[in-house]
Chain A
Amino acid sequence: MKLDEFFVTGEPLVYGGMVSIVLVTSAVIFLLTYFKRWGWLWREWLTTVDHKKIGIMYILSALAMLFRGGMDALMMRIQLAFPNMNFLNAQHYDEIFTTHGTIMIIFMAMPFLIGLMNIIVPLQIGARDFAFPFVNALSFWSFFFGAMLFNISFVIGGSPDAGWTSYTPLSGAAMSPGPGQNFYLMGLQLSGIGTLATGINLMVTILKMRAPGMKLFKMPIFTWSTLVTCFIIIFAFPILTVALALLTIDRIFGSQFFTVTGEGMPMMWANLFWMWGHPEVYIVILPAFGIFSEVIATFARKRLFGYHAMVWSMILIAGLSFLVWVHHFFTMGAGAFVNSVFSVSTMLIAVPTGVKIFNWLATLYKSKIEFTTPMMWSLAFIPSFVLGGVTGVMLGMAAADYQFHNSYFLIAHFHYVLIAGTVFACFAGLEYWYPKMFGHKLNERIGKLAFWFFVIGFHVTFFPQYFVGLDGMPRRVFYIIPEWMPLNVISTVGAFGMGVGFAIFVFNIYYSYRNSEREKTGDSWDGRTLEWATPTPVPFYNFATVPHADKYDAFLDMKEKGETTFEEEKLEPIHMPSNTGQPIIMMAIAAFASFALIFEWITLAVIGLVGVLIMMGIRSFDYDEGYHVEVDEIKRIEREARGL
């Protein structure tokens, strides 16, 4: 293979990307070397098994991916603003909408939420870490390298261009030769392993490591949403794993699962993809529901209305989410009976979702609302998400979907649920738990400015798309006709508004780091759940003494009784896991193997795979039992953190 086949050539935008990658990488290397921070980076971050630090790394990566996906989005919006634009050509446009969709769902939304779960769930249930801290680090690095692998495709080898759904036969070897589509397959496969492992890890953590007295139906609602999400992950991700593997075997080893020529079935890909894909959209919305529930209860200063109904509706949603997948391909042409069955099951999902909406409203009803930034995101979420849900039900009517399908109406629908749901929740959750993570709040005034830019920008961008969709504009086109122009111009303006909002949000992180007042207590918002019982910054072992949590809103109860998580007479040495470099090394080797497989260098791939197996062997004989933190040390740390 020649070098000019290896690197992507001929696109000014891609050259720009290459230059910025080189510049940023050199800058990072220079800074680390100049400030002599390599050892610190390795000891404190790359080898950590601390769930809080891993969570922060997840969130940082997700923010970076939000930036990358957002850039893709702005480029698409520029191209679509006017008829006859020549900003992107057809091929480049295809690549960009593919990477945009894949990155936003797989490498932004999920990691962001998993990052928040990482940090908060153990704190909420009174645990000192995950059940399997080593596996948690492994999960993070598998996500991280999967994301890097996918992102590098636009400068090396060429990006995938068959949509985030990667439908066969288009994504098969015959119609998409070359490494592009393999990047999609291996990037998702590698990070999917991590997601599945996290699902199992968090589920075990929640089932086995709750504070004494905390029954399942006493758990905070965000923890509940995480538990239900883990359940969906555990049962949905294997389907994706198998589908990706089948398509990889098709493309690289010449089998015929998804080709017509070999008596395969191209539509079987769509079938398998959406059997995972629909549960996946609930994987990214249920934790969002959990976050909003926490934020709304905290700032309405009321107990969450209908806690049991909230939990059961999530369980119902999780079950139903496995029974509706065909609504993504009603137009495949299965008979009216098949479509009707899935039409009904789809509309059923709206019922538990509606129950949740009314519970939030009832929580707010007659409450004294405190308008903090996280609360503003939550309040904006409710009406916006309802718009997304209602149009979802419209799409769920099979006969009508023959009109809406693959038009901008669909685009507007899923952005209304994904942005107003997941993205708002990520911002709300980050701002809400920010003081717990970093010891100071984000500035409220700048936060609200970002909020208004983003929310107004969001509606200006996507509301017109419902109508331009009804006017017949299909998704995934790179030219518009003059009739669609006015609404598209509005959309593009809105998109830049969202961009400004995001920029302000990121600036706020820097500004608050410099200027915000440092937290003195651990209880920044007068919270209700156990994460606020820990001091800020949270000591690495979380809880000096694990509290008894036999009431819902356990921390409220503790505050009433005057209990803390530092009861000196109950102190005992704490058993903690040791840091280890094995996860990052193992996953780096796995990434190397995947990269080789992407270019179909089989020998190298096999060598990489053997490397991974060797790392697993090493891990099997690793008898490191961790270490104990002694009582004196705990006392010293807690006294300092609590200013005693």
Chain B
Amino acid sequence: MAEHSKRFPINHIIGFVLSIVLTLLAAWAALGSDLPVKWIVAGIMTLAVIQAGIQLFMFMHMTERESGGGHVPWNMMFHGFVLAAIIVAGSLFTMSFGFTHDHDDGGSHQQEEQQEEHSGH
């Protein structure tokens, strides 16, 4: 522990500076640039992937050897991806399926009922 924490953490500093630069770049792309929207979206996505890579490999111990109960960082990454998939797919599923049905037949009546339901919250 002792000698480990006293060494100058050059890797961390580089990663830190890089991640700040990437964030500023993304903010500039969204607020300051006049690129077409598609380019901005694609650009920010790319920056996000690079950003995630920096975090994972420079800070999050992804390169460490496995120990004890398997490779914990990879394990948590895996579950993180599963959860992200649940959130995204689940939200799409629940928030966009089946509503058309209500609009077709006497939709207005049903809508009113729902309104009443929710005013109770």
Contacts and interface: CB of A to CB of B under 8 A. Distances in A.
Interface stretch (A331-339, A459-467, A561-569, A607-615): A331-339
B69 A216 contact: yes
A271 B121 contact: no
Given A334-B99, A335-B99, A338-B97, A474 B120 contact: yes
A207 B68 CA distance: 8
B109 interface: no
Nearest to B80: A235
Interface stretch (B24-32, B51-59, B85-93): B85-93
Given A235-B83, A335-B101, A326 B94 contact: yes
Contact of B95 (A231, A271, A322, A625): A271
Contacts of B101: 335
A275 B90 contact: yes
Contacts of A207: 68-69, 72
Contacts of A341: 93
Contact of B118 (A167, A334, A338): A167
B85 to A, nearest CB: 11
A267 interface: yes
Interface residues of B, number: 29
B5 interface: yes
Nearest to B79: A235
B106 interface: no
A476 B118 CA distance: 12
A163 B120 CA distance: 10
Interface in A217-248: 231, 234-235, 239
A170 interface: yes
A234 B83 CA distance: 11
Contacts of B5: 623
A625 B114 CA distance: 60
B94 A334 contact: yes
B91 A268 contact: yes
B104 to A, nearest CB: 12
B117 interface: yes
A63 interface: no
A89 interface: no
Contact of B94 (A163, A167, A271, A405): A271
A623 B6 contact: yes
A170 B120 CA distance: 10
Contacts of B83: 235, 322
B49 interface: no
Interface size class of A (residues with CB under 8 A): 35 or more
Contacts of A475: 120
A335 B2 contact: no
B95 A167 contact: no
Which of B76, B80, B120 gathers the greatest number of chain A CB atoms within 10 Å? B120
B102 interface: yes
Interface string A302-345: 00000000000000000000110110000111111110011000
Interface in A473-491: 474-476
Interface in A267-308: 267-268, 271-272, 275
B1 interface: yes
A265 interface: yes
Contacts of A235: 79-80, 83
A317 B37 CA distance: 43
Contacts of B102: 333
Nearest to A275: B87
B121 A163 contact: yes
B86 A323 contact: yes
B114 A170 contact: no
Given A275-B87, A475-B120, A625-B2, 18 more contacts: A162-B121, A207-B72, A208-B68, A234-B76, A235-B80, A239-B87, A322-B86, A325-B90, A331-B114, A333-B99, A333-B110, A335-B97, A335-B101, A337-B97, A405-B117, A406-B120, A406-B121, A623-B5
Interface of A: 162-163, 165, 167, 170, 207-208, 216, 231, 234-235, 239, 265, 267-268, 271-272, 275, 322-323, 325-326, 331-338, 341-342, 405-406, 474-476, 623, 625
9 contacts: A207-B68, A235-B83, A271-B95, A275-B90, A322-B86, A334-B94, A334-B95, A338-B98, A342-B94
